[in-house]
Structures are given as C-alpha cells and as structure tokens.
Amino acid sequence: MKGWDAPVDLPESVAGEWEDICELLYAASIVYGNLQIKGAVKAKISGIWMGKRGESWNEEAVMVRTENKDVAEFLERNIGILRRMGDK
C-alpha cells in the first residue's frame, strides 16, 4: 500500500498494556510491510524484508532502522538486556 496515510480521525493517544502495543506494532508491520515513525525518533519498523528467514518469522521478529544514533544505542542496549532476561 504505497503512499497509504493513516485515517485522520484516530485519537491523539491510546492507553494500553505494553504487550498490546507490541502486538499492534508487529501486526501492523506485517500487514503494511513497514511503519514509519516520525518526529525526534525517525525510525522504520519492518515486519517484512528481503531474505527474512523462517526462524525470524517464528520469533515474530521485526527490523528497526534509525539514523538517530541515540535511539539506535538505546535499542541495542535494551534489546540485549531483554534477550539476556529471556535466556534465564
């Protein structure tokens, strides 16, 4: 859906559990291929990419790209922590 814009009648904010937000972002990244996050973060969340392997599909992996060095370092640091917690 190239050039698709979000409906203008979406609420300004939505509250929810973090797990629900994760599921929403994952599902939307699969349905639309990728999500563009604008503002200070300027990131792209891709649910589909060339060469995505079966293991990545099974793990429900997404690819996050950003040119913001601070955001990239934050993501790397915190994803590493979450992975180590999952190994226990």
**Residue that has been written with the tokens 């609420």 in this structure:** 11
**Is residue 1 in a domain?**
no
Q: Is residue 58 part of a domain?
A: yes
Given the structure tokens 């859906």, which residue do they identify? 1
Q: What's the whole-model pTM score? A: 0.74
> DSSP for 17-41?
-HHHHHHHHHHHHHHHSEEEE-SSS
Number of domains in the chain: 1
Q: Which two tokens stand for residue 72?
A: 């990239």
Decide: 64 and 45 in contact? Cβ < 8 Å. Answer: yes
Question: Each residue of 14-63: pLDDT tens digit?
Answer: 888 988 988 999 999 999 999 998 888 889 999 999 999 999 999 999 99
- 29 belongs to a structural domain: yes
- Which domain does 37 fall in, by range? 18-86
Q: What is the pLDDT of residue 80?
A: 87
The half-sphere exposure of 88 on its side-chain side, counting CA atoms within 13 A, is: 4
Say if CB 66 and CB 72 are below 8 A apart: yes
- Classify residue 8: in a domain, yes or no: no
**Nearest-angstrom CA–CA distance, 45 and 28:** 9
